[in-house]
Structure 1
């Protein structure tokens, strides 16, 4: 298709990210990712009514005789649990999926994480193809192979690194995305400008109205640029031993908010937006960045319709307790992704808890 954009992810398990309209109906493209004759589509009850049958039909047309199973989970972060993982594995087993089967993760980040983890575990690892249908999943969770489920104690604490065989991001699916979810995805887009690409922030400021209006070409460009940044970082650091941690800018704060709210308040992208502002304020307090940097980030996020202040009533001590169990914490103390200004993020260990509490208390 002439409008497709492609981003290559290198490393030990290379794959391609395809970005463009109509990919969910492109049976040949979908079937080209198969190694065997079994396919299993995992979706949720918001996405499945819109796209599941289309994907199944496209695969069947392209590969007659293909055994195709599918399973649908309730939409929302509350499904991304060990119990949900168990149900996914049981559904794959009942469908008789064999060692050369491919799991297709059709949906947003919850589906991608859960389906990817199930693929990583079934018969010690089968192929997974990510079919993200939300902006957030297209620019973040579908790329890089991090799969996981949540525990009551924290987000994404149980999982595996399992790179996808391919990512097919059908931008046409964004037309059915609720406005709140589109805005939430833009938070992760802004993140790439914040951590490694200051000129990208200029571009986002110039195209904010078009992004919010759902302009196809502008969204595709934002997705491609975001994926290119993530792909480059993942290729250099596939298991998050160093640079890849930068992708968590705002996430230590954001995950703590999500956990404290029981995954029933701010959605992930909204929590990340708040978390990025808090990370910028922490950088200020530690003398690393200026208030002007924070103000610019805050202003762009507000222009994109995202929250920039934590919900009222959250206890600072409870949030810090969640941070201690965050995957980015280490035995020596809290570790945060901070910045020295736009496009210059870095990892900072042993951050004083008092400074974090001051930020949380405003």
Structure 2
């Protein structure tokens, strides 16, 4: 299919390298993604919101294969072990063999759960990411992190399992609710805030176009963020070092999501608030200046993102949840902080008293 806007980015992992295709009309480009399926079995995992919109298009591309679908209810609360069990049951009923493929059609919840299910079936089968939200396109679909939530914390069970390909069709963003779209922009901003100040400047200059979902601006933003993440993943696939930088705002954000029982905040909203808190903590520790925090806050708010902790959450509760973060070692807090825009770093041994002070200032108690 002729697609002049198509962007192709390779996640370079040797024999496990894979393409990320970003453009218009890609879900209907059956020849492109069908070629990535190696066997005759396919399970499409989606949710009850996305499937009515896009599953018929995928179904047309699976003609001649033995396939079925498994649908989740929509929302972070459904990224659970119980639903992984149901997905594996669906693979069993399909008679899926080791050359089967799981197709993740949806946002980050669908992608994480589908990838984890694929990692578990027969100790690992292929899966393809077809992200339909901005958040999933720029973050969770790339890099092979899969998993589910537990009552005590987010993404505490999972596996690194790279996809065969990522098919990011920007046409699906037309049906994305406003709040979900803005939540995706938080991960775009995060990539720039970590290590790409020129991209941050570009975002400031194109904030109005991004807020209006201008296709050219959206495509450019997705491609720049994915290109940055692909480079990080290629250098540190299993987060032993610098890949942890991609978690700027996430230790705070995951605690906020968990405190809200995965219903109060969308993931991107938690990350937005978490980035501001990380910037404030960096200020407190003398690593950065208030002007950078203000600049970050302005961009987040201009793109429709929250920067304040929701009412009812308590500092001590949030700190307790932060202790469960996967980046911590030997009971010591290990956070991603910064020395200003584009200069994030991993900081171990952050004093809990400093974290608590920032949380208390933000919650009022």
| TM-score (norm. length: structure 1) | 0.98
1:46 matches 2:49 = yes
Q: Note if contact 2:66-2:94 (Cα within 8 Å) is conserved in structure 1.
A: no
The alpha carbon displacement at 1:86 in A equals 0.7
The alpha carbon displacement at 1:85 in A equals 0.9
1:111 match: 110
Q: Note if contact 1:293-1:342 (Cα within 8 Å) is conserved in structure 2.
A: yes
1:31 matches 2:30 = no
Distance 2:131 2:228 in 1: 18
* Alignment length (residue pairs): 358
Unaligned runs of 5+ in 1: none
Q: Note if contact 1:332-1:350 (Cα within 8 Å) is conserved in structure 2.
A: no
2:337 match: 338
2:279 match: 280
| TM-score (norm. length: structure 2) | 0.97
2:270 match: 271
CA-to-aligned-CA distance 1:237-284 (integer Å, 9 cap, x gap): 000000000000000000000001110101000010000000000000
Distance 2:50 2:198 in 1: 34
Where do 1:6-85 residues align within 5 Å? 6-12=8-14, 13-60=16-63, 65-85=64-84
Q: Note if contact 1:42-1:71 (Cα within 8 Å) is conserved in structure 2.
A: yes
1:262 match: 261
Q: Note if contact 1:193-1:201 (Cα within 8 Å) is conserved in structure 2.
A: yes
The alpha carbon displacement at 1:204 in A equals 0.5
Q: Note if contact 1:28-1:59 (Cα within 8 Å) is conserved in structure 2.
A: no
Where do 1:148-297 residues align within 5 Å? 148-297=147-296
1:147 matches 2:146 = yes
The alpha carbon displacement at 1:96 in A equals 1.4
Q: Any idea what SS the aligned residue of 1:25 has?
A: coil
Deviates more, 1:307-316 or 1:248-257: 307-316
Q: Note if contact 1:30-1:59 (Cα within 8 Å) is conserved in structure 2.
A: no
The alpha carbon displacement at 1:38 in A equals 1.3
CA-to-aligned-CA distance 1:67-117 (integer Å, 9 cap, x gap): 121111101011101111111111111111111011110000000000000
Distance 2:149 2:331 in 1: 24
1:309 match: 308
The alpha carbon displacement at 1:58 in A equals 2.2
Deviates more, 1:7-16 or 1:222-231: 7-16
RMSD: 0.7
Q: Note if contact 2:323-2:331 (Cα within 8 Å) is conserved in structure 1.
A: no
Provide runs of 4+ in structure 1 moved above 6 Å.
Answer: none
Q: Note if contact 1:130-1:167 (Cα within 8 Å) is conserved in structure 2.
A: yes
